[in-house]
Amino acid sequence: MVSESTLKTDKTTRVNDQDFQTGKILALVQENARQSPAAANGLFMMISFMSRSAVVVVVGFIADRIGLNATYLISAAMGLVGIPFVLMLPKK
């Protein structure tokens, strides 16, 4: 049985990991936007928030149509399909 404190910890960790990734990308955006970093920051945050919201709606719609188990399997498959593309990225 999963305790309530474990669920809270897992949820907090997941949110913090997402924010950490966003922070790293935001640092890259600001580093490359020398003329107007505030505008680049705003544009990046707008795109980030809108895409996260859109993904939640799309995944919810798919889950309503085909069920949660199938949706989780599709999500896992999409992640696995992306691995070769990540490995093809140039190394610095």
8-66 pLDDT, tens per residue?
A: 555 555 555 566 677 888 888 888 888 888 899 899 999 999 999 999 999 999 999 99
Measure the CA–CA gap between 78 and 74, rounded to whole angstroms.
6
- Residue 87 clears pLDDT 80, i.e. is over it: yes
* Torsional sign, CA 29, 27, 53, 60: positive
Q: Is residue 1 over pLDDT 60?
A: no
Q: How confident is the model at residue 76 (pLDDT cuts 50, 70, 90)?
A: very high
